[in-house]
């Protein structure tokens, strides 16, 4: 099995992919779009993509890509995220002039970064890619915010550890693919829908779930391209699509929603045991 992820080796997406199947061949790609293309074209069996962080919020680009592709969500992974400030051996905090990381990594470490005076904060395409950039450049005035594994991969050492703003920093990843994951039972469904531009339309849409006791665990709105001030609504439901109550709620919504699409019905990430820190992480 080949699982695609965005970023360099040592990226948090790589750790999430390893949780899907520790024995799979993990294949890095530079962009989220390339992960979708790899799964769509058969170069990877599955793709693992971040969708939401408990501090930084939603990764909107991946919501948009879900809509523009016909690849269903077949699973999800939750990963505790521990950030480290990584630099070449011998570099000191006092000598830093630049810190690189992915925008989500920077957002998750905002308070720590605010303590670094006179340091330029630069957004890049990937946390582990930032570590690679610092290592390849040989810069002794630069550091990256990335995982402990990224430091091991690229020969960097931590100037500071666990620099995220909150200890409970968790990223939720979705798994996309054409086939269901083995040995899983669906208990969660993700949908996207639109409503008429009239008073009470969203209330009416959500009531089909409330009246039947279907738990709505997330609701996200995204603008519809080419239609200013009109929105798509993404929702996560705590039930399988073929659950009778959920199926009836979706059938009711379909009666009046201009558009409704199921993006996937899959097993949620529930086990507390499986939420233990990644073995490559060292928290100090």
CATH 3.40.190.10 holds for 2-81+169-180 = yes
Mean pLDDT of all residues in 171-188? 95
Report the candidate in 144, 132, 125 with the shortest Cα–Cα distance to residue 84: 144
Q: Which residues, 6+ apart, have CB-to-CB distance to 211 below 8 Å?
A: none
- The rounded distance, in Å, linking the Cα atoms of 16 and 84 is 18
Per-residue pLDDT tens over the stretch 250-260: 999 999 999 99
The CATH class of the 84-161 domain is: alpha beta
Confidence band, pLDDT 50/70/90 cuts, at residue 273: very low
Query: Residue 276 — very low, low, confident or very high, per pLDDT cuts 50/70/90?
Result: very low
| Entry field: residues in the chain | 284
As a whole number of angstroms, the distance between CA 233 and CA 87 comes to 42
Read off the pLDDT of each residue in 231-236 and give the average, rounded to a whole number. Answer: 97
User: Which positions ≥6 away from 190 have C-beta within 8 Å?
Assistant: 73, 234, 235, 236, 237, 262, 263, 264, 265, 266
Of 102, 34, 269, give the one whose Cα is nearest residue 175. Answer: 269
What average pLDDT does this structure show over 105-110? 94
Q: What is the DSSP letter of 273?
A: G
pLDDT for the residue 55: 86
Map out the domains of the chain as residue ranges.
2-81+169-180, 84-161, 188-266
Average pLDDT over the chain, rounded to an integer = 93
pLDDT of residue 56: 84
Looking at the annotation, which residues are catalytic? 171, 173
Domain 2-81+169-180 shares a fold with domain 188-266:
no
Please name which of 212, 260, 201 lies closest in space to residue 239, comparing C-alpha atoms: 212
pLDDT exceeds cutoff 50 at 133: yes
Cα–Cα distance between 85 and 162 in angstroms, integer? 8
Region 140-149: what's the mean pLDDT? 96
Would you state the pLDDT for residue 284? 32
Name the superfamily (CATH) of residues 188-266: ACT domain (3.30.70.260)
Q: pLDDT band for 20, please (50, 70, 90 cuts).
A: very high
């Amino acid at each position: 099995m080949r699982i695609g992820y965005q970023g360099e080796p040592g990226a948090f997406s790589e750790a999430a992919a390893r949780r899907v199947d520790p024995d799979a061949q993990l294949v890095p790609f530079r962009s989220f779009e390339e992960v979708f293309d790899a799964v769509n074209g058969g170069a990877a069996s599955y793709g693992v993509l971040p969708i939401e962080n408990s501090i930084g919020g939603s990764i909107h680009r991946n919501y948009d890509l879900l809509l523009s592709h016909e690849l269903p969500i077949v699973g999800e992974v939750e990963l505790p995220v521990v950030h480290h400030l990584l630099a070449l051996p011998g570099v000191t905090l006092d000598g830093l002039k630049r810190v690189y990381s992915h925008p989500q990594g920077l957002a998750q470490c905002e308070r720590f970064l605010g303590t670094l005076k006179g340091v330029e904060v630069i957004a890049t395409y990937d946390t582990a890619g930032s570590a690679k950039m610092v290592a390849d450049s040989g810069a002794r005035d630069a550091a990256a915010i990335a995982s402990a594994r990224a430091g091991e991969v690229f020969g960097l050492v931590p100037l500071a550890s666990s620099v995220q703003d909150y200890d409970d920093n968790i990223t939720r990843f979705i798994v996309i693919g054409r086939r269901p994951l083995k040995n899983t039972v669906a208990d969660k469904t993700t949908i996207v829908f639109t409503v008429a531009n009239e008073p009470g339309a969203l209330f009416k849409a959500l009531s089909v779930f409330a009246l039947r006791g279907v738990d709505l665990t997330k609701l996200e709105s995204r603008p519809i391209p080419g239609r200013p001030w009109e929105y798509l609504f993404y929702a996560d439901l705590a039930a399988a699509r073929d659950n009778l109550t959920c199926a009836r709620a979706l059938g009711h919504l379909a009666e009046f929603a201009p558009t409704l699409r199921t993006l996937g019905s899959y097993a949620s990430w529930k086990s507390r045991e499986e939420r233990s820190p990644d073995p490559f992480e060292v928290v100090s």
